[in-house]
């Protein structure tokens, strides 16, 4: 599933092709993805795309009347090319631009989404209870410690909860916890402020590095240009069960936590 870095790479990839362009037409080939595709998005025809932004794992195509919100789901991806490009299986949506190009959304499993956010309206219900963006100043180094007080869930599940901080998916939670020397099963409420400050710093570092490397391609994700993300070459623990830890040579261990694969080093993480 694309996580925050992969979504941000996709946003960065499409932004220069969309910003300033007029939406000439929108073709909805599949009326229902994860949810029904709202026909309200059609009112953007004739409008100029003012910006392309992101909140959590949602991409916003912003116009005067509102924002088309795209979510990639588990297997979705975006491409920009001539609108006459032959269709492929699972091409569900085209946003055709005035210059003859189009943004095409493909999603084999149809777990992605296209939503609508009117201008000057309250945030969409799916966005109303999200925590801070991890790569902004809103994610201060005391935030996690404050939120964690009294919490008995594991620290890994805690940082993957979008109500606490958005976008720390499974891959990057594993990596940030390793970098911080924190065992993923530690209770969130039993971790010191000092260690949470370190974890906050490492969440920022690992996400920024993943974006710089074009994301992490494990199965389905590729960039807008079709190229894979290369951060997988820099993974310390994720997907490395049975291999030696880069730091201490101890065998990386894996187990299931909250129905997600979890990887850690018994020696380095306590």
Query: How far, in Å, CA of 62 to CA of 48, rounded?
Result: 9
Which residues line the annotated binding site for DNA?
90, 109, 151
The conformation of residue 180, written as its DSSP 8-state character, comes to H
Whether 3 sits among the annotated catalytic residues: the reply is yes
Residue 170 in contact with residue 225, Cβ under 8 Å? Answer: no
**Which of 13, 34, 139 is closest to 80 using CA atoms?**
13
The question of whether 197 is a catalytic residue gets the answer no
Annotated binding site: 90, 109, 151
Whether the Cβ atoms of residue 3 and residue 221 lie closer than 8 Å to each other? no
Helix, strand, coil share (%) of the chain residues, nearest 5? 25, 25, 45
CA distance 200 to 27: 42
CA angle 208, 213, 219 (to 5 degrees): 110
Distance CA 32, CA 52 (A): 23
Can you give the C-alpha Rg of the chain in angstroms? Answer: 20
Instruction: Quote the strand ranges of 64-162, DSSP E.
Output: 66-71, 76-82, 91-97, 101-107, 113-118
Q: Which residues contact 195 (CB under 8 A, 6 or more apart)?
A: 180, 181, 182
User: Is 266 within 8 Å of 250 (Cβ atoms)?
Assistant: yes
Choosing from 11, 57, 79, 240, which is the catalytic residue?
57
**What positions carry a catalytic annotation?**
2-3, 57, 260
């Amino acid at each position: 599933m694309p996580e925050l870095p992969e979504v941000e790479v996709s946003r960065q990839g499409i932004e220069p092709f969309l910003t300033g362009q007029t939406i000439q037409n929108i073709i909805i080939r599949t009326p229902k993805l994860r949810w029904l595709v709202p026909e309200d998005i059609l009112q953007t025809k004739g409008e100029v795309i003012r910006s392309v932004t992101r909140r959590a794992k949602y991409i916003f195509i912003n116009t005067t009347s509102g924002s088309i919100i795209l979510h990639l789901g588990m297997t979705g991806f975006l491409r920009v090319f001539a609108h006459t490009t032959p269709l492929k299986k699972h091409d569900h949506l085209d946003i055709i631009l005035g210059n003859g190009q189009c943004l095409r959304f493909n999603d084999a499993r149809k777990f992605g989404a296209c939503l609508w956010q009117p201008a000057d309206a309250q945030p969409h219900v799916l966005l109303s209870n999200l925590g801070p963006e991890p790569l902004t100043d809103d994610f201060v180094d005391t935030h996690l410690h404050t939120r964690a007080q009294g919490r008995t869930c594991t620290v890994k599940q805690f940082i993957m909860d979008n109500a606490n901080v958005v976008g720390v998916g499974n891959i990057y939670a594993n990596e940030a916890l390793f970098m911080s020397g924190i065992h993923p099963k530690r209770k969130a409420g039993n971790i010191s402020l000092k260690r949470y400050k370190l974890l906050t710093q490492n969440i920022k570092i690992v996400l920024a590095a993943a974006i710089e490397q074009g994301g992490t391609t494990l199965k389905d994700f590729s960039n807008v240009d079709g190229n894979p993300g290369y951060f997988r070459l820099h993974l310390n623990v994720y997907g490395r069960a049975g291999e030696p830890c880069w730091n201490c040579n101890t065998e990386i261990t894996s187990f299931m936590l909250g129905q997600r694969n979890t990887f850690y080093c018994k020696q380095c993480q306590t």
